[in-house]
A = this chain, B = another copy of it.
C-alpha cells in the first residue's frame, strides 16, 4: 500500500494548494492513504475544528501535530474526542489527546505515532522510550506503523530512525519545514527521511514573510511574523509498505513548487 505523508501544512496557502493538487498527486502515485502534519495549518499556528474538517474532507485520514499543537485554544474542546488528530506521545502525563492512533483504512489497520524531539526543544518525556511503549501497544494490532518525529536536530531524528529500524514501517521527520534528500530504507526494512518538508508559501522563510524574519535576525526588537504570500509548494513523502510484513519496500519524495 502507498501512503502519502504531507509535510507541515502552513496556513491557508498550504490548505489551498492541497485542495487544488492533492487529487492529482494521489492519482499519479496510486496513493491508498494520506496523512499530514497539521501543526501550522490554522494561520501558521495550531489547528481549529474547521481547518481539521477541511483537511479531512480533502481525503486526509489523520493529522499529526508538534510543538504548535496548542496554539489555537479551541483544540482543547475536541482533541480528546478526535481519534484522527495525534499529538506527541512523549508529552507528560495528564495531557489531553492521544500520542498514537490505530486507523482502519479499507480493512487494513495502520498505527500512527507522533513524537517530539528534546534537543533544542522543550523537555518532555524521552522520545525513544515513549516510542517503545507506543510501538509495543500498536504491534498487538498491526505491523504497519508510521512514526512522525517532530524534531529539530538531525542527530536525534536519524538516531530514532535506526532505533526503531525493523519495528515500524517508517520514521519520518517534520518541524524544520525543509525537505531533506536522505530518504532511504534502513537495513531492518524501515523507511526513513530526516524531514518531509513544508506545504505552504514557496517564497518564504519556513512559510513566513521573509522580510519579517530577516528583521528578526538583524535587530533586537521583537517582530510579529506573517504568513508569506505568493506561489505555493507541496512537500511530501510516498512510502510503499508491504501489507503483510509492514516493511517499507519503496520510498520517494514529492517536491513540487507551483511557481
Contact = CB atoms under 8 A, between A and B. Distances in A.
Interface of A: 70, 88, 91-96, 118-120, 122-126, 128-129, 152-156, 158-160, 162-163, 176-182, 184, 187, 194-195, 197, 203, 205-206, 210, 213-214, 216-222, 253, 255, 257
Given A158-B205, A159-B216, A181-B197, 20 more contacts: A92-B218, A120-B152, A124-B220, A125-B125, A126-B218, A128-B217, A152-B153, A154-B176, A154-B177, A154-B178, A154-B206, A155-B206, A158-B206, A163-B214, A179-B182, A180-B181, A181-B181, A182-B197, A184-B257, A187-B203
Contacts of A118: 123
A188 to B, nearest CB: 12
User: How many copies, total?
Assistant: 4
B155 A122 contact: no
B221 A155 contact: no
Contact of A126 (B119, B125, B213): B125
Given A125-B126, A210-B162, A220 B91 contact: yes
A219 B126 CA distance: 10
A185 B176 CA distance: 20
A179 B181 contact: yes
Nearest to A204: B158
Contacts of A184: 257
A98 to B, nearest CB: 13
A91 B218 CA distance: 10
Contacts of A195: 178, 180
28 contacts: A70-B221, A88-B220, A92-B218, A92-B219, A93-B129, A95-B219, A95-B221, A119-B123, A122-B220, A123-B126, A125-B125, A125-B126, A126-B217, A128-B214, A128-B218, A154-B176, A155-B206, A155-B213, A158-B213, A159-B210, A159-B214, A162-B205, A163-B214, A163-B217, A163-B218, A179-B181, A182-B197, A187-B203
A201 to B, nearest CB: 12
A120 B163 CA distance: 25
A40 B74 CA distance: 30
A134 to B, nearest CB: 15
A156 B210 CA distance: 11
